[in-house]
Amino acid sequence: MIFVKVNATSKEIEFIHYKPFDKKLGMNKTEDELLKIGMLIDSMPVPEQIQGKVPFLKFNGTDFYYEYEDIPITPEEKSQQEIKQLKTENETLLSAVSEMTEYIATQDARLTDQENAITELSTLIANGGI
């Protein structure tokens, strides 16, 4: 027998004891005493093994079942995610800087061409060539 104590309001499992009547490890209570504070069942459902999920045993008033929640990420996993994100952002910024550098170089070349054209025109005007 398995002893299970279920919260009357939330129906969440508060306590499970797999050997409630064991002489050494038991709860030192009679069956009637245990039934006043919980329930005795023959077996528990077996949770599915879903990668990245942790099972939580629940009770709906008549049956036990499992709800599965994502396993919280560890600080190391969080750091790895942040590093990956920062590397991606860094690559994006480097690409933007490279594009801006090319644009500035193009603008510098245009300015140099314009300055040369102005110098030529100034020379032609000064020499009376126009």
Write the CA distances from 85 to 71, 88, 89, 91, 115, integer angstroms: 21, 5, 6, 10, 45
Question: ∠ at Cα 49 (44, 51), nearest 5°?
Answer: 150
Span 96-127, pLDDT tens digits? 999 999 999 999 999 999 999 999 998 888 88
What are the sequence ranges of the domains in the chain? 2-70, 73-130
Asked if residues 32 and 3 have their Cβ atoms less than 8 Å apart, the reply is no
Q: What is the pLDDT of residue 12?
A: 85
Span 5-36, pLDDT tens digits? 998 888 789 999 999 999 999 999 999 999 99
Write the CA distances from 7 to 10, 43, 51, 61, 103, integer angstroms: 6, 19, 28, 10, 68
Span 37-90, pLDDT tens digits? 999 999 999 999 999 999 998 888 888 999 999 998 899 999 999 999 999 999
- To the nearest whole number, what is the mean pLDDT of the chain? 92
Q: What is the pLDDT of residue 129?
A: 65
Write the CA distances from 29 to 17, 24, 25, 61, integer angstroms: 12, 12, 12, 24
Closest-CA residue to 109 (of 101, 120, 99, 98): 101
Number of neighbouring beta carbons within 10 Å of residue 39: 13
pLDDT at 91 over 80: yes
Backbone torsions φ then ψ of 36, nearest 5 degrees: -75, -25
